């Protein structure tokens, strides 16, 4: 496998049952009900997943908890061939539980700063707004986060999609752009192409997270292709949340590639949806969805679509910079 960049992973979605139990003991907390169940979970929709997801986060309380969470992901990602990760985090899911924003950002940053030495990879943070919490709260958390401006490279938009259009967040995204931050947004996962249009035209995003329903609008497909707009697709997540056919062999990824779209493969919330980035590639390959040449193309796409410096991208694409040290 070529070196990979992972561009769509929620750090909270990498919280394993074993780490949940460890943090619960350390913080003298009960183990959340969802983490007591054996075997994989089954979700009927995004909201079903989010119920368990938010409940499990209660064990994250202290700065070192967030450091341990990030280190566990970075170790696993490096084993999968990831040389660079742009990691989503949801500050509102923690601050609304009474965890200070500084605890979250500094805890995650502690791990990311050591990633080159410990894991031979680089990583950056993208702060996401919970769309179901509304634009006013998004602006408030953005104001607070500016004290840590050097700790994250961009902003994103995630959580429940239906009924919470990107246009609601035009103001905070405009501020982020003016402040020199990158901008991405979830769209076209549960919702139709209209949310992708809004993310492009109103939020002025540089990547679309998911975007699989873009295929329903031929004009949108043509625009995405013409602009080379990256789409961070998460196949196992799409199957788990029933946003694509239950048989991964029917996933729209090869159609997207055939349309000439800048598609990447990512893990989303790997502890909930069946695996990490290499597991996604393996599942697609086993099902005959992609072949070796397409795997290499997807890997190259991930490097090109990242927010790494252009010189680093060129070195990775040429094979000169497979692993990085501080």
Catalytic sites, residue numbers:
189
CB 154 within 8 A of CB 126: yes
- Rounded to whole angstroms, the Cα distance separating 299 from 308 reads 14
Structure tokens at 53: 């997801």
- Name the phi and psi angles at 143, rounded to 5: -55, -45
CB 297 within 8 A of CB 257: yes
Q: How many CB atoms lie within 10 A of CB 143?
A: 11
**What does the buried/exposed string (b/e) look like for 96-131 if buried means 16 or more CB atoms within 10 Å of the residue's CB?**
eeebebebbbebbbbbbeebeeebebbbbbbbbbbb
CB 183 within 8 A of CB 155: yes
- Rounded to whole angstroms, the Cα distance separating 4 from 185 reads 21
- Rounded to whole angstroms, the Cα distance separating 268 from 276 reads 8
Looking at residue 268, what DSSP letter applies? B
Q: How many CB atoms lie within 10 A of CB 295?
A: 18
- Rounded to whole angstroms, the Cα distance separating 250 from 42 reads 19
Edge-first strand order for the sheet with 122-130 is 4-10, 82-89, 122-130, 154-158, 182-187, 207-210, 230-233, 262-265
Of the candidates 14, 28, 86, 102, the residue with the CA atom closest to the CA atom of residue 57? 14
**What does the buried/exposed string (b/e) look like for 27-54 if buried means 16 or more CB atoms within 10 Å of the residue's CB?**
eeeebbebbeeeeeeebeebeebbebbb
């Amino acid at each position: 496998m070529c070196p990979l960049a992972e561009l769509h992973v929620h750090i909270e979605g990498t919280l394993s049952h074993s780490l949940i139990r460890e943090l619960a003991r350390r913080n003298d907390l009960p183990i959340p009900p969802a983490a007591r169940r054996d075997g994989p979970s089954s979700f009927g929709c995004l909201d079903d997943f989010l119920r368990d997801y938010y409940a499990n986060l209660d064990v994250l309380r202290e700065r070192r908890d967030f450091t341990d969470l990030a280190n566990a992901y970075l170790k696993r990602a490096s084993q999968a061939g990831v040389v660079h990760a742009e990691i989503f985090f949801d500050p509102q899911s923690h601050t609304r539980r009474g965890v200070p924003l500084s605890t979250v950002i500094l805890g995650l940053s502690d791990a990311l700063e050591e990633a080159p030495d410990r894991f031979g990879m680089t990583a950056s943070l993208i702060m996401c707004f919970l769309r179901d919490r509304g634009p006013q709260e998004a602006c408030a958390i953005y104001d607070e986060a500016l004290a840590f401006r050097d700790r994250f490279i961009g902003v994103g938009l995630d959580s429940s999609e239906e009924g919470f259009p990107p246009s609601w967040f035009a103001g905070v995204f405009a501020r982020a752009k003016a402040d020199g931050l990158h901008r991405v947004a979830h769209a076209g996962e549960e919702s139709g192409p209209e949310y992708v249009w809004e993310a492009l035209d109103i939020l002025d995003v540089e990547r679309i997270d998911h975007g699989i329903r873009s295929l329903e609008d031929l004009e949108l497909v043509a625009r995405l292709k013409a602009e080379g707009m990256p789409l961070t697709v998460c196949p196992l997540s799409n199957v788990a949340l029933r946003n694509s056919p239950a048989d991964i062999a029917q996933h729209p990824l090869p159609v997207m590639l055939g349309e000439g779209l800048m598609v990447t493969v990512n893990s989303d919330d790997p502890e909930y949806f069946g695996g990490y980035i290499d597991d996604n590639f393996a599942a697609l390959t086993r099902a005959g969805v992609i072949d070796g040449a397409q795997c290499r193309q997807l890997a190259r796409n991930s490097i090109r679509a990242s927010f790494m410096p252009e010189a680093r991208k060129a070195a990775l694409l040429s094979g000169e910079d497979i692993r990085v040290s501080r």
